[in-house]
Structures are given as structure tokens and as C-alpha cells.
Structure 1
Amino acid sequence: MNAVLQLTGVTRVHGEGETAVQALRGISFAARPGELVAVMGPSGSGKSTLLTLAGGLDAPTSGTVAVEGVDLATLGTKGRARMRRTSVGYVFQDFNLIPALTAAENVALPRELDGERPGAARRAARAALDEVGIGHLWDRFPDHMSGGQQQRVAIARAIVGERRLILADEPTGALDTETGEEILRLLRARCDAGAAGVLVTHEARHAAWADRVVFLRDGVVVDESGADPVDVLLESGSR
């Protein structure tokens, strides 16, 4: 089965000369339709860098990043932005909501920017907000919502429409345990319906929702398997 996301020999270096930091060191990584992949590792291991490259928010120093067979380097800035509006859902750690827009407007914005009629975009946004359990807050502004509610808006924005790839960077960080489990169940259902998902997490119990666990250390994949995430943590930590 062809991968929705494919990183091949990807290296990412930040800075130059003596201050250069090698965030990723020639890694190859794939996520296929119907698959949820958990990415784990200590702080500074390259987890978030992997996601920013996968979403076309940054470019690799070397190697290729492809989404549905298309090398992102060939798309240009506008092409990558369009891809994020139509095919890729991204859940950021810091939400990245626009304060002047309501919850529904935040969720609908990518679809409207892609040319969808405002009415249809808002209806899709309301449906996505219902799916994450806050449909009744559709007209509320981010500043009048709790951190957990804002995170749900961000997740609704990531799943609205037919997203083929969902990238989530610690998506349950602002949520209580029960709500976090609901969100993971939602991500799991989206993958079961055919999307590919990449979940960055430091919680083994969250990684347990995934089909496969990839463990990064110092920008290198040190374990990639379907093993229990607790075992992966213990074994990788001893290397």
C-alpha cells in the first residue's frame, strides 16, 4: 500500500558552523492509509521537527518529504499552503487559533481560503465542532474559552473535510484524562476510516492507540515496531 507520508533520507540542520544543530540525521519514515503512527522520544530528539517537515512548514536540509507521492519541494510556498488547507490537518501544541475569529470561523477558514462558499464551510465547521464535543461553543472567541476547549477547536480544524493526513503534536496536552482519551479515540477513528495519522506524544498510554511506535533519539530512529510503547521506552532508554 502506498504511503500517504514518506520521508526518505531526511536531514534537517538548524544554523551554521559551530552553532549548527542537527535535528534529524538521515531518517526515513512512512505513514500509510489507515495507520496511526506514534512518535516518541526525549526532548530535543527531533519529534516536532519531523512533524513540521511532514506538514510542509519547513524544508529538509537534504532528503525528500512526499505527501501522497508528491515531493513537497516541487510545490513551492503556495502549493504547500494549499496542500495544508485541503489534504493535511495539523494540531499544534500552542493551538494557533486566530483570536478575532469565532470557533466556527477558525475551523472554516482553511476551507474558505480554498474557495469553498462560506455557508458550506461553516456547516462543515459546525459538524467538526460537534464531533469533538463543543458544537455549542461555535460562536465563542478563543479568549473566552478554556485551554482544553481551544485545543478541541484546533483538533476540529485539523479534521474538518477529507483530510488524508493528520499530524498531531501532543494533542491532549491541555486536556483532562477523559477528554484526552476521547480525542485519541477520534483520531483513531479517522485513521480507521482511511486517513494516515502521526501522533507525537511522550505518554505511553497515548501511544497505545497507535498501530506502530517510532522512537527517536538525537535525530535518529532507534526503534520502529508494533511493540508495546512501554517496552520501546525501556529498551530505547538503555541504548
Structure 2
Amino acid sequence: MDSTPHGAAVTAAGFGLKGPRGWAFRNIDLAARPGSLIAVQGPSGSGRTCLLLALTGRMKPAEGTAEVGGLPLPKKMAAVRAVSALAHVPGVAELDPALTVGEHLRERALLQGRFGGSLRALLRPRRERRAEARALVDGALDAAGLDPESLPKGIRTSVRDLERLEALRLSVALALVGRPRLLAVDDTDLKLSDEERAAAWAMLRGLAAAGTTVLAVCSEPPEGSKDLGEHLVLVRTGDRPAPASGKAAPTALVAPADTADTAGPEGTADAAVEGDARPAADGPGGRAEGHDDEEGAADAFAETGRA
């Protein structure tokens, strides 16, 4: 395991995932240093989301090897889940439209307080736990570029009333509360205007520059990709049909690593998504039950108007 203090290096060799419908992706070779922005580009159904889930330990690969922060896949899938977080992944880590922004943040802070730290941390005075919860949420919101006060109803704005870019920022902020070394974001530019797309990529570049390795699924790479140089690794899925032998054709990719992707049968694999080692670590996909205010997070939100 490497000693990088924050962002995780991501490598893969001959990496592939296969389901009942065939190969979702295959023949991936990837090398990204800590703090890189990894853009996974391709059309819908080309295996982009499966690659994201496999590299974060949520789907088990069928061939090849990969490492995240020195943790090998598939051997250490649970450990990889513990150092990574998902944002904006339909059906896996998505926002509940019936909840408000404040409810999402409060729930995430409660879960982080209960499951995200050590037993010793739970025994600290309530005041310290409140302060830490408040700092985590405020820091995550700042990093994602979301100001709750700018929303129509502030912290009480329902998710269904958010603009698409605001919802993306909220999903990213929730994932950042867990201080992941690898942040994986699906459908980064889905139905965004050119201006919104530029703002989304600026947010993700900022996170990578601050040290978090970011893996983002997109239909188009960020503008100025060539100028990003070694800070961007571009992976393209579904570029070309597989050769007659059935093996996926490799695709030339952007520095710092030559990365290849797939062209197996169209459609995502039906392999089961692995359960997360940390309950609800990927956001409010499951409700927090049985957690009272002793964690300190609820009191923190009450004090700041974010309850």
C-alpha cells in the first residue's frame, strides 16, 4: 500500500469485466498518479459506468488487474470501497428528490459520524463531534462550489427543485464528506449546457488540483484537454468494434499513460454491484435509521440552520 497522504494512484493492466450479455469493457491499461483527473469518455452503453464501479471496488472484474492506492483489485475490493466514494451514479449513489438539501447533508454527516471514524472518535465530547461534522460539511460544500444560501429556499430547497448543475454539486459534496482518496462521478456532463459543462469540469479540476484523484464519466472530454497534460488521463470506451477474434481493440489515449478500452457487445454487464463496506458511504441511497443526535451532527446543523 502506498504512503500517499490523500489522493490515490490508479493503475490497471488488461482490466476487463464480463456479464451475461458479454464484455462490458476489456483490455484496459491505465496509470494515473495521485491527484489526477481521469476522464472516461464514450457513448451510453459502452461500459463507462461499469468501469467506474469496477475501479471503485463495486463490481468484480473478470480479467486483468488493477490497483487503487496500492490496494489490488479484485482481492481488496472492500478496502478500495473504503477509500473511494461515488457521486451521481443512477441506482447506486443518487439523490432522493423528496428530500431537501439540508436533509441530505444532515443524514450524510450522521452516517459519517457513526461509520466513518474510529471508536475512539465516537467517545469524544459532543462539542468536538459537532464541530467536526460542521467543518466536514462546510468544507465539502465549498469544494463542490455549492452555496446553500443561493438556492431558492436555502437549505430547505428540495432536490427536485435543483438545477442539474446544482444537483451534481450536491452529490459531489455528499461524497466528499467522507474525505475519499478517489472520487468517482458518473454522467458528469449529462444534459448540461456548454456553460454548465465548463463549470462542472472546473469543479472537478479544482478537486484534483487539491489532491483528490477524480474519475469522471463523460460524453465529451473537458475543453483544453491537451493543455492539462500529465494532470489528465483520458479513457475512451466504445470507439471501435471488436476484431473478428473477439478481443477488444486497444485505443490510444492521452498522457500520462497509454490506456486502452473496450469494444465488447453494447450494454452494461449484469454483474451484481458489490455491497459497500461502509453503510451508505456513497450518499443517501439508504436511509439512516436508529441513529440519534448523540453523534453531534444533528446539533451542528441545528446551530447553523441546516437542520
**With structure 1 as the length reference, what TM-score do the two structures score?**
0.75
Name 1:104's counterpart in structure 2: 105
More moved, 36-45 vs 172-181: 172-181
**1:131-146 alignment runs, 5 A limit:** 131=143, 132-136=145-149, 137-146=154-163
The answer to whether residue 254 in structure 2 is matched with residue 225 in structure 1 is yes
Counterpart residue identity of residue 126, structure 1: D
Aligned residues: 218
- Identify, as 1 or 2, the structure richer in helix: 1
Residue of structure 2 in register with 1:126 after alignment: 138
Q: In structure 2, give the amino acid aligned to 1:193.
A: A
CA root-mean-square deviation: 3.1
Which residue does the alignment assign to 1:7? Answer: 12
Please tell me whether residue 185 in structure 1 is matched to residue 202 in structure 2.
yes
Change (3 A) 1:126 1:34: closer
Deviation at 1:22, TM superposition (A): 0.8
Change in 2 beyond 3 A, CA 1:221/1:201:
farther
Structure 1 residues 163-193: Cα deviation after superposition (integer angstroms, max 9, x where no partner): 3212222223254433432232121122122
- Residue pair 1:4, 1:196 contacting (<8 A) in 2 also: yes
Matched, 1:214 2:235: yes
**Structure 1 residues 196-224: Cα deviation after superposition (integer angstroms, max 9, x where no partner):** 22222112445736623222226654121
Larger Rg over CA atoms: 2
* Among candidates 146, 151, 160, match of residue 168 of structure 2: 151
**Higher strand content, 1 or 2:** 1
Counterpart mapping for 1:23-34 below 5 A: 23-34=24-35
Note closer, same or farther for the CA distance 1:220–1:60 as it changes in structure 2 (3 Å cut).
farther
Q: Hey, what's the Cα distance between the residues in 2 that align with 1:35 and 1:158?
A: 17
CA distance in 2, matches of 1:207, 1:89: 26
Letter in 2 for 1:192: A
Greater RCO (Cα-Cα under 8 Å, separation 6 or more): 2
Q: TM-score, normalised by structure 2?
A: 0.60
Sequence identity percentage: 25
CA contact (8 A) 2:42 2:220 kept: no
Superposition pairs of residues 72-83 of structure 1, within 5 angstroms: 72-75=73-76, 77=78, 79-81=79-81, 83=82
Q: Which runs of 5+ in 1 are unaligned?
A: 228-239
Identify unmatched segments of 5+ residues in structure 2: 123-128, 242-247, 257-307
SS, match of residue 74 in structure 2: helix
CA contact (8 A) 2:57 2:77 kept: no
Letter in 2 for 1:199: A
In 2, the alpha carbon distance for the partners of 1:169 and 1:156 equals 14
Asked if the contact 2:233/2:253 (under 8 Å) is kept, the reply is: yes
